[in-house]
Amino acid sequence: MPTVVFVRHAQSEYNAARVIQGQIDCPLDDVGRAQIARAAPVVARHHADARAVYASDLARARDTARAIARAIGTRPIIEDARVRERHLGALQGMPARDVSRAAPEARAAWKSRDMDARVPGGGETYRELDARVRSFFRSLIAEYEDGDKVICVTHGGVLGWLRRRGANGDEKKLCAMRRGVGNLAECVVRVNAADDGAWRCAYETWACGKFLEETALAADDV
């Protein structure tokens, strides 16, 4: 199984304002750009052996990944829409503080554990999110050998699903896994996809903030 070093993107303008992003292509803010300037060389020191750097095709992840790839000296990043943030429909662009009052039904769909719950306004179900993440894993397994390492810069919603969907309860406890993944925090997993379409992860590190002295935000929901 290849090892995937998932890194959440640096702080965006919407992160700082606590506005729900989903798939809105919001840029990094000044804090985020300073974060990647500090963190990219640290990522390179820890993961100089990475074979490739993947990224969501959204700018906040793509720009974070480019800085990491430059620091490591790998080939250009590989953009992959399968690891972009979950589409949150009508909630996208809404201040988080307003969601419960202004859109209770949409919030309920967003927070639901129902695999087929869809946020109104074109939102994505967990089943759809799961399918594209599983497809991404299968591509890595086909491309890389056991022991190979890749870096993937993604989003809090994807990482939250990764935490929930991986069924290794004991490993979660050993990693002291928490739901919130801060900006530029690291989650290291070994991935496997079964013939029946299921997938599982062996967790090595979760929500580790070693690339920065501290992460700007801890909540993965925004």
Active-site residue set: 9, 85
The answer to whether residues 18 and 96 touch, using CB atoms and an 8 Å cutoff, is yes
| Rounded Cα gap, residues 53 and 78, in angstroms | 6
Classified as helix, coil or strand, 134 is: helix
CA distances from 145 to 44, 51, 122, 193, 205 (A): 21, 11, 37, 14, 21
What is the 8-class DSSP label of residue 19?
B
The answer to whether residues 202 and 175 touch, using CB atoms and an 8 Å cutoff, is no
* Residue closest to 184 by CA, chosen among 207, 160, 151, 159: 207
The answer to whether residues 189 and 139 touch, using CB atoms and an 8 Å cutoff, is no
Query: Which DSSP helix (H) or strand (E) runs through 43?
Result: helix 30-46
Enter the tokens of residue 166: 């991986």
In one letter, which amino acid is 197? G
Enter the tokens of residue 163: 């935490």
